[in-house]
């Protein structure tokens, strides 16, 4: 269930409203009492693989033996040619 929040309150206290959403509250934004949007917390994102598991896989030689040669041929030795912005 969502709690209604008038657009005026969102405009006047956007940080406070977003803190409520961050804390897990679902808010429905209304204009003249009519619902127009819903603010919901994003689901927490879990890594698809634990870091130590990833390191074991990449250091265990699972990649094709020629991968290093292919990457060396495709990639320049430096990034000096990349513009700095």
Around Cβ 5, how many Cβ atoms within 10 Å? 21
56 lies in some domain:
no
81 lies in some domain:
no
Nearest CA to 3 out of 40, 48, 31 is that of: 40
For the full predicted model, state whether its pTM sits above 0.75: no
25 lies in some domain:
yes
pLDDT in tens, 28-80: 999 999 999 999 999 887 767 777 777 777 776 656 767 767 777 777 666 66
pLDDT at 76: 64
Count up the domains in the chain and report the number: 1
Q: H/E element holding 37? A: strand 34-39
Query: Domain range holding 27?
Result: 3-39
Q: Specify the residue for token string 């804390």.
A: 23
């Amino acid at each position: 269930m969502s709690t209604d929040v008038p657009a005026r309150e969102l405009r006047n206290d956007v940080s406070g409203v977003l803190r409520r959403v961050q804390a897990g509250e679902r808010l429905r934004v209304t204009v003249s009492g009519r619902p127009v949007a819903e603010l919901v917390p994003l689901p927490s994102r879990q890594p698809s693989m634990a870091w130590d598991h990833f390191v074991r896989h990449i250091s265990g030689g699972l990649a094709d033996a020629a991968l290093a040669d292919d990457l060396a041929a495709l990639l320049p030795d430096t990034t000096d040619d990349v513009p700095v912005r």
